[in-house]
């Protein structure tokens, strides 16, 4: 026989501290958008374009029919050894990249340093250096990128430091991306951001902090 039961529910701010922990864990595991990193990826694409990295892309089929290009940017994180970020593309010299990156990110000294390192290596090689960047292996971090550097349009050898300098700068760019992704994830999963999300959606919980879903 059906039985009518009454359940007391609570807003987040009405819960005990231990119940709040449970409620926040539920939100982090269930409600964070799978595409939370899209804004960071979009900014990284702009930065690559400024620095002279043409990202390789894949064609992704959309549910409604049509397609779009998806850049080959990969990451894993943020808790295990071997986590990191990487990308695939082709690098070549872009004029005034060291100035344009400062216009795009005026206080990001790491990006300034990367752009300056690339420019210095190019200057010593008459701006003829290029690099091919491929992902290898099953991990995603800066050392999972195979980077081959060449000097184009001449039979003259690269300067002794060219390959190491270009390779390290491109790996540092992957590290920069991973740091940005980590900072964005930390912000979105912080207690403050989670509490705002729970409040904005009007979620209610049992006294133990378990999500209460009203039946239709």
Residue 67 to residues 55, 72, 73, 88, Cα–Cα distance (Å): 18, 16, 18, 20
Domain spans, the chain? 8-32+190-216, 35-188
CB-based contact 131:149 (threshold 8 Å):
yes
**Predicted pLDDT of residue 216:** 46
**Predicted pLDDT of residue 1:** 64
Below-70 pLDDT ranges, the chain: 1, 4, 214-216
pLDDT in tens, 158-203: 999 999 999 999 999 999 999 999 999 999 999 999 999 999 999 9
């Amino acid at each position: 026989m059906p039985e009518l039961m009454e359940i007391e529910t609570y807003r987040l701010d009405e819960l005990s501290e231990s119940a709040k922990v449970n409620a926040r864990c539920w939100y982090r595991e269930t409600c964070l958008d799978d595409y939370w990193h899209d804004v960071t990826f979009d900014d990284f694409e702009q930065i690559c374009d400024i620095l002279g990295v043409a990202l390789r892309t894949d064609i992704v089929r959309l549910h409604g029919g049509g397609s779009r290009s998806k850049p080959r940017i990969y990451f894993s994180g943020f808790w295990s050894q071997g986590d990191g970020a990487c990308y695939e593309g082709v690098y070549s010299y872009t004029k005034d990249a060291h100035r344009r990156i400062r216009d795009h990110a005026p206080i990001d000294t790491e990006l300034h340093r990367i752009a300056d390192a690339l420019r210095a290596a190019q200057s010593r090689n008459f701006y003829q250096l290029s690099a091919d960047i491929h992902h290898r292996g099953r991990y995603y971090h800066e050392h999972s990128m195979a980077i081959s550097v060449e000097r184009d349009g001449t039979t003259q050898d690269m300067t002794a430091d060219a390959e190491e300098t270009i390779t390290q700068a491109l790996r540092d760019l992957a590290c920069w991306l991973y740091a940005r992704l980590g900072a964005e994830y930390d912000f979105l999963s912080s207690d403050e951001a989670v509490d705002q999300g729970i409040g904005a959606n009007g979620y209610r919980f049992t006294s133990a902090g378990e999500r209460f879903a009203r039946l239709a």
